[in-house]
Amino acid sequence: MTVKVDFKVHGLKELQKALTQLPKELVSKNGGPVRTAAMAATLIILREAQETIPDRDDVQNTERLAGAIKRRRMNKVRKGSEGDQVYIKGGKNRADESGAYYAPWVEFGALGKPPTRWFSNAIKNKRKEATDIFRTRLAGSIARIAKKIGNENIRAVAAQVKKL
């Protein structure tokens, strides 16, 4: 079982519209500056989740749980958009060391065990910081590419991104 928590950044419709109108230098098949900015934003959430795993007697191997926290690029996103997610790999069964089958019980509780909400809280605590990192990384990337190709209109877009 995989535990997955997604979060969306709202209020970026203008940015998305502007990004679809940018030249090929900015928008690549692999996501370009938007992808790198999203990966930087999800990295801070991933690290927070790994550092805040609760220390409970019934969770014998917190290293296994920390190792099961992953991030990936979402496969099915609309054209002109990007998506990355932080998730906990569940593993196929109890013996599967590549995941943490017990993650939902730690997060949501189980019979006689209260929920810890550590994963949800990691996302909630780092949401603003992740959004700021996304915005500044994206603005910096756009400004660098605009300078490289000498396009003043793109520099204006970078300034708008920074102000969002």
What DSSP letter does each residue of 63-126 carry, written as one string? Answer: HHHHHHEEEEE-SS--TT---EEEEE---SSTT-TTS-TTHHHHHH-BTTB----HHHHHHHHH
The residue type found at 114 is: P
Give the residue, 111 or 82, on which the prediction is more confident: 111
Among 85, 94, 40, 84, which Cα is nearest to 64's? 94
- 101-143 pLDDT, tens digit per residue, is 888 888 898 888 888 999 999 999 999 999 999 889 888 887 7
Copy the structure tokens of residue 34.
């938007």
Angle at 11 between CA 33 and CA 143, to 5 degrees: 30
State pTM to two decimals: 0.72
